[in-house]
Structure 1
């Protein structure tokens, strides 16, 4: 990560915009939290309400790499964005047509006094956040500081104890795994209370650590911006810190207390086994695609799926996996008097995906490559009134991951349009966009067909849609 004074003028301009957008987001968050607090006060329940505010969900994200990203999904598909690609987009940074990340230099800076960032679960820069609990009826001391170790898994037990509710043992007939956290209520009115959450493992993508009674042992296995050519887990070097004397983990005591370090490493393995952390998998982007990761998915290896109108909101790992292979989509539809428009079947959204739909009554297919390029194949003819069978064949080139292919549109068995898709996404379309029949329920994959369920809804009738892997 280059120092600020070694950046080019273009880099400084781009990175400054990234930080400005982040500041705007922080300001908006502060404003919206204020609205929530004002609403609670307005109904007269402020004193009887416990507010738990955690400043962040982990460390600041360094997934943007050295220059940042316009679309986070490029990271998860191994596509590098460059300064010259991002500068023309600078005025849109942070708007609804972006899914941006700051350059990693900002993540490191904003995580001070800690060294590392999100994804590095073995450093407090990847995990430690400020916590504020406001509960006038339950906390007598005002503006007090608590130093006992606590973890995100302590939130639920804290709420249950404060509300006087038991931990649920069975929900809807299903026995529940015991909650693993520790209530923080014991510290509410006793700043010097003995710490109760005394042991905690951490692990993410091979970055792993263990906390125990003030001691912290850890290893930095990989950096967030490195996704391949990793060193073997067995060769990782571990550090040792005394957290009570060293808040920001700067004084490595491993060479001074080797026996303590060995004890902590053994303790990590015991906790990892107890809480099903093993086997440790240090892969990142491959894990988004069950087929590449080598794990089963919910479809159990089936090669086809019958879908019907009204089926929407299917997350990526609950839908048939079309990535890196040929497939076909066959839809039996009915067009009313005056024609039809809208989505037949779609997966993903503005930042990557594919969609089969009618535009101005004509069958069309869009493959949206990461929001960077769209490949559109269109039929020249409007569908007539009545029943039609619209089929999309995608013939994958093969020869590896993320390759292109040929798309052919058929109507009632006759080929009506074809074209090339030069690139496809090998790993993931989206972490939150879905597959939908009869509409595109979030951001649109295709351009010019509307936004959201109301505008993209199919105006004819969809009897069934059959999708099959070839």
Structure 2
């Protein structure tokens, strides 16, 4: 959007209309603040002692509220019951009934970009987050620059306590290592405390967990009732209670970011049971039902149109009955995941309101960092469920995501259309929102949140931080909408771009160019389409002030306006480092000099992310473990990678095992290891493939060796992902093997484990 000065005074315009705490004058515009001191007095009998000087910590402006910022993951506009969807969300309902629902709030269409925009008040590409991985272009390198300070850092320097619980997903993958560097971790970007997951997704039962900058073990097992959302809720409550007990006058900024409802859709069975049979009618029927409820609730205009199902998605009735049963069960798990998460958020907010000053707490509940996740086509969703019955509810087909985007076109990743970028938001702040249960229709965006928080806290965004001139905020405060339903939309211009899907908004109009659909783009091997491929994309034009659902393309009727909008997109793209357009960048790439081909791990090494090691995903590799077996024998894990692969010793026999894809064989030595020193080896040679567009990963030939001699061999599937952990001497994940129960530590001695990868 065009740069609009931060509106510190917007809320002041509406204070006469509503009750609330007074606001202090704006804070300084340069950080850190000059040191302030106070005299403690003089002492002494024979001669005067010099006055003691004490530094005084930063104090938030008088009346500054506590801030609870909540953002769900991969949830569409039409998913929650609060906005007409099928999922029960009573906590969100209650917040909306006492606050305001925003039905023209926007995200970027993808996880990391949305979080970068949310936490800085800038556009995602300005912060280096045009996607979720890293490539060697300024808008996509994943390097959060010092010229885009986070809202957490500004609040912290102005007297707020700050913490993040949940998903981060904004540190370059190559820096997620016990060796750092830590410049781009939450604790270096304004959060005094972080507990959660550094990646984009994880099992809710056995997630990778970090406490500040250290990987930690989960506090209890799934059998003992562990669930990630419950864990971060418990810790958030503990953090709030501790702060309010020890420093009740200091306001706080709590950013609560569950992994829900990103796949895998791990949720207790009793919650899934609540939705049994609810989705047997399919996604076409669900979309129509949701649309009717949305109109009845008033969250969409009475004249809004329901957009049709795209040709790329099958009609529900065209699918075989057996497939429909599997697909319906996937939606049951997804719906249960959202309801379970809403319940946990209710526990958090109940604790927040019960603390001293709880009423002076603004809650901003953003329902999704992008639209629902249409990243898996129907056939693949069915195939993967059959191959991995233990994880059949881990994902769902794109048709359900399309239903969750009602009434819009498309879903996550399709930044050209509102199904990818328009998400619900509810704001609750007792005494500050006029006319409870209202709906606000101003055009708003994630990058408006920072400006709004500065506004209500009485803080001016600093022009300079630690000597670094700051890029201006792209967002504008919408605090005046709390008390004034007719306040204008201060956000007048906004570009959107993800994976080459792109759009430009200006004063009620939107021009859109779709480059592809997510399940066709994510598997691309080359992230760069040629420029002529983007030039061939067809642009559409919509009048959103009179066409809420983006249903009527006016490109043919208004070619001059469309041409002007395309020119405007080009200017915004150049200004914000959007070029070159990139059609696929799910994981990016390391700089060539960074990628090691081999690494030797010591025994007892702490758990690391596989991204910090040589990349053995989708390629040939070798493992050699030098061990000492005691006189009474040994057992346990030698090397494990997430839940995908394990090299271990069971009852004295060496074994290797991966996920049961492609009829993968378990390799096992025929006899037990003798006491003494041994070198245990595993060799994997990948077969050619996979073929372009194939659903299944390539297999290869595997060999198990002891002291250089082959003891077993057979077919194994490739290791697919580097987004999991590597453990030496134990297994901290949900094991690929059913032979043992994690962590299954090795009872002998491991000297070293060496990993070598092929080009």
**TM-score normalised by length of structure 2:** 0.52
Partner SS for 2:659: strand
Give how far 1:267 is off: 1.7
Distance 2:733 2:476 in 1: 38
Ranges in structure 2 where 5+ consecutive residues have no aligned partner? 1-312, 692-696
Aligned counterpart, 1:418:
713
Residue of 372, 379, 383 corresponding to 1:60? 372
Give how far 1:437 is off: 2.4
Give how far 1:335 is off: 3.3
Could you tell which deviates more after superposition, 11-20 or 272-281? 11-20
Aligned counterpart, 2:625:
331
What is the count of residue pairs matched by the alignment? Answer: 434
Tell me: CA distance 1:342–1:263, structure 2 relative to 1, closer, same or farther (3 Å).
farther
CA contact (8 A) 2:381 2:397 kept: yes
Distance 1:251 1:241 in 2: 6
Tell me: CA distance 1:247–1:359, structure 2 relative to 1, closer, same or farther (3 Å).
same
Distance 1:139 1:20 in 2: 35
Distance 2:689 2:488 in 1: 60
Distance 1:449 1:232 in 2: 50
Is 1:377 aligned with 2:667?
Answer: yes
Q: How does 1:47-196 map to 2 (within 5 A)?
A: 47-67=359-379, 69=381, 81=383, 85=386, 89=389, 97-98=391-392, 100-136=394-430, 138-165=432-459, 167=461, 180-196=474-490
Is 1:395 aligned with 2:685?
Answer: yes
Q: How does 1:279-298 map to 2 (within 5 A)?
A: 279-283=580-584, 287-288=585-586, 295-297=589-591
Distance 1:242 1:313 in 2: 52
CA contact (8 A) 1:307 1:464 kept: yes
Distance 1:172 1:364 in 2: 55
Q: CA-to-partner distance for each residue in 1:162-185, whole Å, 9 max, x for gaps?
A: 344565788899987665443332
Give how far 1:238 is off: 0.5
CA contact (8 A) 1:327 1:394 kept: yes
Residue of 531, 536, 544 corresponding to 1:235? 536
Give how far 1:124 is off: 0.7
Aligned counterpart, 1:76:
none
Is 1:457 aligned with 2:745?
Answer: yes
Is 1:354 aligned with 2:648?
Answer: no
Is 1:32 aligned with 2:325?
Answer: no
Distance 2:684 2:598 in 1: 14
Tell me: CA distance 1:334–1:82, structure 2 relative to 1, closer, same or farther (3 Å).
closer
Q: CA RMSD in A?
A: 3.2
Distance 1:200 1:314 in 2: 39
Distance 1:311 1:148 in 2: 53
Distance 2:600 2:475 in 1: 42
Aligned counterpart, 2:579:
278
CA contact (8 A) 1:312 1:441 kept: no
Distance 2:460 2:754 in 1: 47
Aligned counterpart, 1:263:
564
Q: CA-to-partner distance for each residue in 1:320-356, whole Å, 9 max, x for gaps?
A: 112343221122233345433332222232xxx3222
Aligned counterpart, 1:447:
738
Distance 1:165 1:373 in 2: 60
Give how far 1:240 is off: 1.0
Distance 1:169 1:448 in 2: 59
Partner SS for 1:31: helix
Aligned counterpart, 1:404:
699
CA contact (8 A) 2:627 2:749 kept: yes
Distance 2:602 2:392 in 1: 32
Tell me: CA distance 1:254–1:467, structure 2 relative to 1, closer, same or farther (3 Å).
same
Tell me: CA distance 1:102–1:323, structure 2 relative to 1, closer, same or farther (3 Å).
closer
Give how far 1:409 is off: 2.3
Tell me: CA distance 1:180–1:457, structure 2 relative to 1, closer, same or farther (3 Å).
farther
Ranges in structure 1 where 5+ consecutive residues have no aligned partner? 71-80
Give how far 1:207 is off: 1.1
Tell me: CA distance 1:316–1:16, structure 2 relative to 1, closer, same or farther (3 Å).
same
Could you tell which deviates more after superposition, 226-235 or 98-107? 226-235
Is 1:210 aligned with 2:498?
Answer: no
Aligned counterpart, 1:78:
none
CA contact (8 A) 2:596 2:613 kept: no
Give how far 1:150 is off: 1.5
Distance 2:614 2:648 in 1: 19
Tell me: CA distance 1:8–1:396, structure 2 relative to 1, closer, same or farther (3 Å).
closer
Partner SS for 1:34: helix
Tell me: CA distance 1:412–1:16, structure 2 relative to 1, closer, same or farther (3 Å).
closer
Tell me: CA distance 1:170–1:439, structure 2 relative to 1, closer, same or farther (3 Å).
farther
CA contact (8 A) 2:603 2:729 kept: yes
Give how far 1:313 is off: 4.8
Aligned counterpart, 1:429:
721
CA contact (8 A) 1:343 1:355 kept: yes
CA contact (8 A) 2:699 2:715 kept: yes
Tell me: CA distance 1:317–1:186, structure 2 relative to 1, closer, same or farther (3 Å).
farther
Tell me: CA distance 1:266–1:299, structure 2 relative to 1, closer, same or farther (3 Å).
same
CA contact (8 A) 2:384 2:392 kept: no
